[in-house]
Chain A
Amino acid sequence: MVLAVAGSAIGLGNFLRFPVQAAKNGGGAFMVPYFVAILLLGLPLMWIEWTIGRFGGGFEHSTAPGVFHTLWNKNRFIKYFGVIGIFGPIVILIFYTYVESWLLGYSFFALTGRYDACTTEQTMKAFLDAYKGVVQNEYFGNIAPAYVFFVITFALNMSVVYMGINRGIEKVCKLGLPILFILALVLVVKVLSLGTPDPAKPENSVVEGLGFLWNPQWHRLAEAKVWLAAAGQVFFTLSCGIGVILTYASYLTKKDDVALSGLTAAATNEMAEVVLGGSLIIPAAVAFFGSAAVMEIADKGAFNLGFVTMPLILQKMAGGRFFGFLWFLLLFIAGVTSSISLAQPAVAFAEDEFNVSRKSACVLLGIFVFILCQPVIFLVDKGVLDELDFWGGTVCLVIFATVEAVLFAWVFGMDKAWTEMHVGSDITIPSVYRFVIKYITPTFLVIILLTWLYQDWASVIFMNDVREEHPAKAPYIYWTRIALLLVFGVLAGLVWVAWRKRRTNKVGE
């Protein structure tokens, strides 16, 4: 189970989002807030989610609506907040599967030398745009190759989920994670051995790249946006606040250790992110382009860094095709271990609350998600993907985490919570975390939420930025939001039906 959670946590966030966030926020300025956020937000949330998941599992609930209800059974509405724990993973799964399929495609293209002719940022970008079907050019005439790779990836993901947790998800993580670590290690050794690729520019070196990430910049600690970015990265990277860990932990018994499991999953993720992920793109990019250029590249986003900059860098190395293949394969495996976990809450919900068999639940979810993936694929340049990422991958995470932290520490009660965390535990959590979980973590989360509301709510809700900068995207974003509301409404309706059914059954007995 620890491997399944670690597999869920280790994803594209470790190798793409982390370097982008670090570079955008000034490298060394980012790392101090990042570690503080891990200690005050990431670890407590890990422990909270593992503990409430196991607690809810004892009442035969594997998903957030049921788990939240067991924590606060006097409140009739709390289960509807739990809907976020099924809705969020579905929304992320919809766009994540498509991005994951690009990685499969690119690993194939790297090996076959399909993008060898692209030697500049412009041509590599043109290659990516044509692959996505945004433009037609000499590289791709239509979206068919992207669609084929999407279907393969989708089928692969759903068949793993179809096989179940023991025979499917755990086996894939058991095999995938060691492969992922070996691939990352090979790439890190290759990058660290680059030295100074151009002796005429001694300032562009791997050591300077590491310095860009690790030289502390104390004066920038006063910038609120750096703290917010670090907290956001911690959320995203640990898969906290999605509801996935909660579902996995619900299959544990009282004899199983949640304190050590939470710490192990977090430590494995940090190994992948800070030690391996931090030693790949940034040092390599600084060595070839210089630190000033890296900040500009990072501003163009994670996709640009992963699909444009990194292939260009790898091409410049000896054995570029092979290392390009390794890079995209590494990201693809990281993507698979994460996306299979995203399907689990919805499948578990159907199994628990409606007694649907696992296989039928997988088929139903597969059809539902496949249909919803279509707008992401065909309207990729209309902002649909970004919109799903924003609501599913950012807003839902913060709201869900805030609710579960408050529920755990204040409604369930800190004394009961602390005892529950240590049931069956091999380690003792430092007692300072009693204070952190009760006061610091919820306060940190509320600050993040309020700061976002204060700074951005109006422009996001009324789409001011979209209307000004990309007016053509506005109708697509508007319809995406309506579709998201509908999906949320359907899931909330299903929760209502499930509880009504339970009540009727109780009265009947």
Chain B
Amino acid sequence: MNICGWIFMTLSWGVILLVFVFCLIKTLRQKP
């Protein structure tokens, strides 16, 4: 895997993880 591949993969995983965690926290904080 070349350097662009590593950057692309790390960025994509990072963004998806961040959005996922953000949504999870926001959803769990909602009142039932």
Contacts and interface: CB of A to CB of B under 8 A. Distances in A.
Interface string A34-57: 010000000000000000000000
Contacts of A215: 1-2, 4-5, 8
Interface string B12-32: 110011011001101100100
A195 B4 CA distance: 21
A274 B13 contact: yes
Given A208-B1, A211-B1, A31 B23 contact: no
B6 to A, nearest CB: 8
Nearest to B3: A215
Contacts of A31: 8, 12
Contacts of B4: 215-216
Nearest to B9: A214
A271 interface: yes
A210 B1 contact: yes
Contacts of A267: 16, 19-20, 23
Contacts, number: 62
Contacts of A263: 19, 23
A211 B12 contact: no
A159 interface: no
A271 B8 contact: no
Nearest to B6: A214
Contact of B27 (A264, A270, A274): A264
Contacts of B20: 267-268, 270-271
A33 B29 CA distance: 34
Contact of B23 (A207, A216, A260): A260
A216 B16 contact: no
* B-side interface mostly: helix
Interface string A421-444: 000001100000000000000000
A426 B28 CA distance: 12
Interface residues of A, number: 25
Contacts of B26: 260, 264, 426-427
B15 to A, nearest CB: 9
Interface in A200-238: 207-208, 210-211, 213-216
A427 B29 CA distance: 13
A458 interface: no
A103 interface: no
A275 B20 CA distance: 11
A257 B27 CA distance: 9
Contacts of A268: 20, 23
A271 B23 contact: no
B16 A214 contact: no
Contact of A257 (B6, B19, B24, B30): B30
Given A210-B5, A426-B30, A264 B17 contact: no
B31 to A, nearest CB: 9
Contacts of A207: 1
B12 to A, nearest CB: 6
B27 A35 contact: no
Contacts of A264: 23-24, 26-27
A2 interface: yes
A214 B1 contact: yes
A35 B1 contact: no
Given A2-B27, A260-B27, A274-B12, A28 B5 contact: yes
A190 to B, nearest CB: 18
Contacts of A426: 26, 30
A236 to B, nearest CB: 18
B2 to A, nearest CB: 5
Contacts of B27: 2, 260-261, 264
Interface string A259-296: 01101100110110011000000000000000000000
A257 B23 CA distance: 12
30 contacts: A28-B8, A31-B8, A31-B12, A35-B12, A210-B1, A210-B5, A210-B9, A214-B8, A215-B1, A215-B2, A215-B8, A216-B5, A216-B8, A260-B23, A261-B27, A264-B23, A264-B24, A264-B27, A267-B16, A267-B20, A267-B23, A268-B20, A270-B19, A270-B20, A271-B16, A271-B17, A271-B20, A274-B13, A426-B26, A427-B26
Interface of A: 2, 28, 31, 35, 207-208, 210-211, 213-216, 257, 260-261, 263-264, 267-268, 270-271, 274-275, 426-427
Given A264-B24, A426-B30, 5 more contacts: A210-B1, A211-B2, A260-B23, A270-B16, A270-B19
